[in-house]
Amino acid sequence: MNIVGLLLAAGSATRFGSDKLSHRLPHGVPIAVQAARHLHAAVPRIYAVVKPGTEQLALQLKNEGCEIVVCENAAEGMGASLACAVRAAGKAEGYLVALADMPFVRSTSIAAVRDALAAGAGLAAPYWRARRGHPVGISGAFYAQLLASSGDEGARQLLSEHEKRLRKIPVGDPGVVRDIDTPEDLAPPSSV
């Protein structure tokens, strides 16, 4: 099945205080590269969306096998980045929408979302302790709606409008809800 990965890496990262997506994790791999590697384990084709002026990040992701999409209107929000990614990828049977600031999502969780799409789910998402996480799987049937994405909500409106079609995948992976917004978010999670 033609399922494409869309890695959204065009955010502003203002709360982190520096270039968070190129920030190295304790094992030396940049945050966005780790997210790309996990996504790549589940899908062969990834379109990584970056904002203008992030050549180093674009090169890092290109070296991981991603096709780079520079989104000129990335400042308009995640929806604009998502639309850029879908436009570049073209029509596919499904899309795995992942966030580049989520390096701790396990490959098995990503594969579970991919498999739900392959089995016919219109929408799919991993859930950890009743919280919806990422990546989100979106059927190619929503291609037109994805192209029209705008604002800072990404696919959130699409998910709420079609909630009955959302396949919820329970996972034992806290990484699906763990994004990196500040340096403190890199600290190991408490065991509570």
For 168-191, what is each residue's pLDDT tens digit?
999 999 999 998 877 788 777 665
Q: Report which residue type is found at 12.
A: S
pLDDT at 192: 42
Q: Which helix (H) or strand (E) holds 150?
A: none
pLDDT at 183: 73
- What is the rounded CA–CA span in Å between residue 138 and residue 145? 11
Could you state, in chain order, the average pLDDT of each consecutive group of 10 residues for the chain (192 residues)?
94 70 90 96 97 94 97 90 95 96 96 97 96 96 91 78 93 93 75 46
Dump the DSSP string for 96-141. Answer: EEEETT-TT--HHHHHHHHHHHHTT-SEEEEEETTEE-S-EEEEGG
| pTM for this entry | 0.93
Half-sphere exposure of 156 toward its Cβ, with a 13 Å CA cutoff? 11
pLDDT at 190: 61
